Amino acid sequence: MPVINITRRLPVKTISTDIDSLNGLGTVEGYLPVRIDASPEALKTNFNTMLAMQQKETELQAMVKAAADAARQAEWDFHNSILGMKEAVRAQFGPDSNAAQAIGYKKKSERKRPRRRSA
C-alpha cells in the first residue's frame, strides 16, 4: 500500500469525485455507518467546513495579491522619486560636485576617457 502524504493538496478531480459521492449518498436508503466520521451528518459538516476554509483561502489570496500590488507600486514610487532627486542634485550642483558623488554618481573628472584603438 502506498504511503499517504497528507501535506499535499488533493487534486481537484478527487475532490469533485468526493462531492459527487456525497450527493449520491442521498439516494441510498438504509445507510447505517459503523464509523462515526462516515455518518451523513459528519460528512455534511466536513463538507461545509471544507467550503468555508476554501473560501477563506481564496479571500486571503486576494488580500495577499492586493498587498503585493500595493508594495510594488510603493517601490516604483520610491524609485521614481529617487531618480528625480538625483536629477535635481546634478542640475543644482553639477556633474563634478561632491554632492553628485554623495548620492552615488561618479564625478565627471574621475571618469576615464576612452582610448583610441589602433587598427
- pLDDT, tens digit, 9 for 90 and up, residues 41-98: 999 999 999 999 999 999 999 999 999 999 999 999 999 999 999 999 999 999 899 9
| Domain layout of the chain by residue ranges | 32-108
The pLDDT confidence band at residue 1, using thresholds 50, 70 and 90, is low
- The average confidence (pLDDT) of the chain is 92
How far is 54 from 30, CA to CA, in rounded Å? 32
| pLDDT value of residue 19 | 95
106: its cell numbers: 561618479
Report whether pLDDT(2) > 90: no
> What does residue 21 show for φ and ψ, rounded to 5 degrees?
-65, -40
Alpha helices in the chain (DSSP H): 12-25, 40-93, 98-102
Q: Residues 1-27: what's their mean pLDDT?
A: 90
Q: Say how far apart CA 18 and CA 66 lie, in whole Å.
A: 33
Question: Within its chain, how far is the Cα of 69 from the centroid?
Answer: 10
pTM of the complete model: 0.68
Question: What does the longest C-alpha to C-alpha distance in the chain come to?
Answer: 98
For residue 52, give the 3-state DSSP assignment.
helix
